[in-house]
Structure 1
Amino acid sequence: MSTIHLGIIMNGVTGRMGTNQHLIRSITAIRKEGGIALSNGDVIMPDPVLVGRNESKLKNLASSCHIDRISTNLDECLADSHNTIYFDSQTTVRRAADIRKAIQAGKHIYCEKPTATTLEESLVLARLAYEAGVKNGVVQDKLFLPGILKLKRLIDSGFFGKILSVRMEFGYWVFEGDWQKSQRPSWNYRKEDGGGIILDMFAHWRYVIDHLFGDIKALSCIGATHIPKRIDEDGNTYSCTADDAAYATFELEGGIIVQANSSWAVRVNRDDLLTIQVDGTEGSAVAGLRDCKIQHRVNTPKPVWNPDIANPFKFMDQWQEVPENDKNENAFKLQWEMFLKHVALDDPFPWSLLEGAKGSQLSELGLLSWKERRWVDVPNLTIGGEKDEYSVKAAKS
């Protein structure tokens, strides 16, 4: 038995998502388990170095996670041959420049999305990684949530028959920061700092829709800044320059229509913060983050519209829960394990920087649709050669 040590530069993990999901619940959890056990008896052991601008925060975080290595000098970490992987969970506006550096240093790339603030920059990163021959991947965490896995199982089984439509509802009320502290950082609401729900969430909706339902053909989107002013972390009032809600319709290649509402200014009256309802000729399902319920055609009630009498149906009681047949681990941890096996063993990992660029494309086209108040086609994306350049121009036309 041998241990494969993989040095990982983890840049930006002092933020909420980086700390909780990527460091504590993924890398630290893998280390506590003794690494990733392989079928031949070998073990993959991640060896992280925490990188950031605040040395005090890094020291405290490293101490709590029993990690020996920290640094405020990214260039030194990139020059260290022990570090073979570069991971980035910084704010979006900082991500692209440091990924470029890491590619130039020959590191394999794993990062959060959006990969950049523009489609053009996202495609450049994908192209540079491809030309450098480094392995690369983008976090696609929602694909590994228990509710989404159950929904995918239903689709693969043919449960729905012909899928007709999808309704996605995401969001919750983010407090303005005056009488209750906000649950999200203030940069999320400033366009100049890379904020905005379209830029943030459309990167998710792209891979969810692609993976579950098919390629997106066209979209129509309207955004809004419902809350014009908020209070930042220092107690100062600031103007919100980015969208905090988006209402979109996607037309897929196979004819499926997807409606997706995203909002940080909505109060939740549904089973979960994210729900995805799929309606098909043979049955329907509603998936949340962890649960999924179904209604087959033979169990579908037959309501008749009559506002003059009390509704005789308890619609919510007429759905069945999809059973928890598999043990589901943390979604981020599962994908980390897949990427580490991709680097060490060349196992498949389909969610490359090109997939990240597709998310940036959808965000950019959503903003364009909102600005010009029209439907926008979604062209195919490739990397390398004239097709790549054409795709960038087509997305902006």
Structure 2
Amino acid sequence: MENQFIKSSKKDEFESPDFYNIDELLTEDQKLIRNSVRDFVKKKISPIIEDAAQKAKFPYYLVKEMGEMGVFGPTVPEAYGGMGADYISYGLMMQELERCDSGIRSTASVQGSLVMFPIFKYGSEEQKMKYLPKLASGEWLGCFGLTEPDHGSNPSGMVTNFKEDGDHVILNGAKMWISNAPFADLAVVWAKNEAGRIKGLIVEKGMVGFTAPEIHNKWSLRASATGELVFNDVRVPKSNILPDADGLRAPLSCLDNARFGIAWGALGSAMDCYETARKYSAERIQFGKPIASFQLIQKKLAEMLTEITKAQLLVWKLGVNKNNGTATTSQISMAKRNNVQIALEIAREARQILGGNGITGEFSVMRHMMNLESVVTYEGTHDIHLLILGNEITGIQSFK
């Protein structure tokens, strides 16, 4: 499958900005993990990502290689195929993947935070041993079914449901905007039982009545596979129900993990746009001198670097909190909302610095900008995260 993508001759020479010497806050292991993923991205993903995005094709062959790199569920214990890494290491992995492309990072985020995490946290020992090693290695790809066509920001209103039938349950309903769905070997699906309680079920590809049609004509996340999940009287063994997941709190805890990774990932997009604009401004000559010499360009670059530095400190401290088990949902919301917002603004400013060249596939900026238009919406919209913070501040929930 690799041969269908044209490799770019342009060399990826990315180096992340570190104005406050934040590397000094990282352990040697964390830096080693980050640098290993950065080298992998430069060698394996950067050369084909523009072509994949232009063709709107998911480079599925990379899944196995990403598994070998350890980017799927790195915080899962080694006994289940993970690395047993800490959350800052996980964040740095997501930063490096999204520095290349949000869609590639989404593939890893979904696999680790939304498929492996719920199986690890809420699954039986049998489920963990059966699924986690295959997911960690990239042998299997998974997806997460929560959002429905009519229930996005309000997942508690879901209509997907199941009824008991002997040793099985009968699952009906549909999920929408599901990353990895068309290629997934299994889906962690959230549905209501006959009592109206939300439960998690592992639904495998090949179960009769389960289909995952792909969503086409996207202007965003074009190198990522997005689809629907449709359940038409699907018979799911009761042994596939996650025994320790009960109520909406379970899927929301998965989203917390994913949003943590997104906060780091969006920072990677911002870094790439900044570095692209900085290098371009030093080489682009107008009025007889590099455009980097003009005050307005310097203003843009200075503001970009300031926001990146603030965002780096934000996710580093959030990672410390996550490692300590003290990170809260509202803290994660703040980081996700802030970092995606600054990444979008930096992408737009970088596009202006590049002028007409900024809209071409010769540079990554326009692709990042389009991708971030999805990232600012999924896993909790920009405004919903604002209201989560508002609830934390005031003690008043405004969206019920």
In our comparison, the structure showing a higher alpha carbon Rg is 1
Structure showing greater relative contact order (alpha-carbon pairs closer than 8 Å, 6 or more residues apart): 1
More helix by share: 2
Q: Quick check: which one's strand share is greater?
A: 1
